[in-house]
């Protein structure tokens, strides 16, 4: 069961709209909750003019504004994040310690890992174009050496994002790259399903050959089952629409 958190403080008349997230924040509790759960996507741009207006005029956190403005977002971002969560008085002592541990790990993360977290979040929120820009930035402009596993996960998520944009050729291309690096069942299965849906798009023969015949048969059966379920659901909708039209005609005839 999920937990319900009640907002005890004041609610904003003018909320803070977090860019690239489609989230509107109305209270100190919501501000803290957003930061705690999406800390990996928060960068220096989060502490914007709108943010400061929100905490001062809506949340009445003037002391927080004064403290934050003494910091440099480019070099003290983590400290600013922690200060904001503490000022909201949202977490208990145990939760705050856990959050501080997460922030410590975040400070040790490579820039490419933080970029991937932001891109993954944006993709999950339907901001596909922006997510792809960040994925491309990781692949084209990375400073540190990236491991095959990390590169494979970037290719995988980039492929899925292209797929959601119906860019099937690009999706299959990057999923193929993911398969070559990850060699994982989920990557091969995803590529196989993409190939089944778009058989006209060429896939490297040597990659497909890595998929065992037994797996191909099992995944083919799963695909056909899901495809059949979709067809049945569509038919059910069509039958319902037809029945509704019949009822409308009967109703009109009765009231003539």
Q: What is the mean pLDDT of each run of 10 residues along the chain (256 residues)?
A: 49 86 88 91 91 95 95 92 95 95 89 89 89 94 80 96 94 94 87 84 76 57 56 51 57 52
The pTM assigned to this predicted structure is 0.68
Amino acid 247: pLDDT = 54
Phi, psi (5° rounding) for residue 17?
Answer: -95, 120
Amino acid 226: pLDDT = 59
Domains of the chain: 16-108 (no CATH), 111-211 (1.25.40.10)
Amino acid 19: pLDDT = 81
Amino acid 230: pLDDT = 43
Distance CA 27, CA 11 (A): 5
Name the H helices within the chain. 28-37, 49-53, 62-68, 77-88, 93-108, 111-124, 128-141, 148-164, 168-182, 185-197, 205-208, 213-254
Amino acid 211: pLDDT = 65
Amino acid 80: pLDDT = 97
Output the DSSP codes for 9-23.
SPPPSSPEEETTTTE
Distance CA 164, CA 158 (A): 10
Distance CA 101, CA 112 (A): 20
């Amino acid at each position: 069961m999920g937990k319900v958190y009640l907002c005890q403080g004041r609610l904003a008349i003018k909320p803070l709209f977090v860019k690239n997230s489609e989230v509107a924040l109305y209270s100190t509790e919501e501000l803290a909750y957003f930061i705690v759960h999406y800390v990996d996507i928060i960068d220096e741009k989060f502490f914007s003019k709108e943010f400061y207006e929100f905490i001062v005029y809506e949340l009445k956190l003037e002391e927080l504004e004064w403290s934050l403005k003494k910091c440099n977002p480019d070099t003290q971002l983590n400290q600013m994040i922690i200060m904001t969560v503490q000022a909201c008085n949202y977490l208990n002592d145990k939760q705050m310690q856990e959050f501080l541990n997460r922030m410590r790990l975040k400070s040790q993360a490579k820039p490419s890992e933080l970029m991937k977290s932001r891109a993954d979040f944006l993709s999950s929120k339907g901001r596909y174009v922006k997510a792809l820009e960040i994925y491309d930035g990781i692949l084209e402009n990375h400073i540190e050496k990236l491991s095959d596993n990390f590169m494979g996960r970037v290719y995988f998520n980039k492929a899925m994002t292209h797929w959601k944009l119906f860019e099937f050729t690009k999706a299959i291309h990057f999923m193929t790259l993911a398969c070559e690096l990850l060699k994982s069942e989920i990557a091969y299965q995803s590529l196989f399903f993409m190939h089944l849906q778009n058989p006209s798009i060429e896939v490297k023969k040597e990659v497909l050959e890595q998929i065992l015949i037994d797996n191909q048969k099992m995944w083919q059966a799963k695909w056909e089952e899901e495809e059949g379920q979709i067809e049945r659901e569509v038919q059910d909708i069509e039958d319902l629409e037809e029945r509704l039209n019949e009822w409308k005609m009967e109703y009109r005839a009765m009231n003539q």
